[in-house]
Amino acid sequence: MTANAPKVVLGVAGGIAAYKACHLLRSLRESGCDVQVVPTESALQFVGRATWEALSGRPVSTTVWNDIPSVPHVQIGQGIDLVIVAPATADLLARAAGGRADDLLTSVLLTTRAPVVFAPAMHSEMWEHPATVANVATLRSRGAIVINPASGRLTGSDSGTGRLPEPDSLLSVCRAVLDRGSQPADLTGQRIVITGGGTREALDPVRFLGNRSSGRQAWALAAAAAARGAQVHVIAANVVAADPAGATIERVETAAEMRTAALAAAKVADVLVMAAAVADFRPEHPEPKKIKKDDLGGVPVPIALQRTADILAELGHLSDRPLLVGFAAETVDSQRELEHAARKKLKAKGADLVVANQVGEGVGFESASNAVVIVDTDGVVRSVPLTSKEGIANAVWDAVAARLTQG
């Protein structure tokens, strides 16, 4: 582990989802973090001390009464870069909100000045109880990041909201928080909706017209927004990836479904980011059965196309709408042409910001990296050179946060 490795405390509360924290611990270490595990005593009922020590390479304690000369309840919380509590049970959230210091983990939470992320996991009834709702609100009001749990299978045969997000998704939030350092969660309380992925328009029951969008940029935007305190909802078109931690997901298939979902979201969102690659055309007459080449005599036939709705323009011209961010994938030859295309789209669509990128080999669609220009209605142009899509996401949120500050 390098001397400048990010220092992370992984708090583990006593819930069945503690086993997932083992995978998160390994992922944090493989990503270059130096991790100290601080479980609660009840967490050791689910995953034993030996497992945490073997995976972290560090001794593990649940109490302030071990190694007293080093004052662990103070020393551990000092000089670290992040605390993530996963799972955070209803009991742990209550104790943290109440300022309790009755074990090592809650003592660390009181002493640290590093960013704190809580990843709740519990049964739906516990998550929805007014006491938990109030405790979450209290923690968020103090600057803590409490990401919403996922929906799915819970303990036993139950299903609902309360599932711990998958470790890779939690890792994305951790990396997003670490990338921002000590900067405050500047999107706290903002209701953010993001569209992502690529729509598909049926040609027949087997084939479709689509595009190369993987949804990676939307997923990075969601993780970064959650790490900055936002309430995140993603309208996802054909994305095959683990759901981003802290976000609710609404699945759609076609441009028409995307339009319906986006117009509904615009009524409740504070910020709407249109990062999806929406098909501009769809087959005019999709076939009810698979088109077989033998039925056509082996000769291709023309496919009549019709325009789909221009969702961004429709949103941009609503009289009462949220802050609107559009994306533009372009195939131009220069940075100057890219800026020109972004300004043109900004004006035509009525958006507040447009993020434009060149698409091609190694950048944009199906790539882990991107380079963009961000233009806004105040005439400001931000150029973001080739970087990770996580880096692009934070640049977009920086521009959004600046606009929100302006009112």
User: Which residue is listed with tokens 């910001």?
Assistant: 353
At 388, which helix (H) or strand (E)?
strand 381-388
Please report the DSSP string for 232-299 in residue order.
EEEEEES--SPPPTBEEEEEE-SHHHHHHHHHHHTTT-SEEEE-SB--SEEESS--SS---GGGGTT-
d(CA 186, CA 228): 6
Catalytic residue numbers read 211
Q: Phi and psi of 177, rounded to 5°?
A: -65, -45
Give the residue among 399, 403, 398 at the shortest CA–CA distance from 184.
Answer: 398
CA 312, chain centre distance (Å): 22
* DSSP code for 45: G
Please report the DSSP string for 57-82 in residue order.
SS---SSTTSSGGG-HHHHTTTT-SE
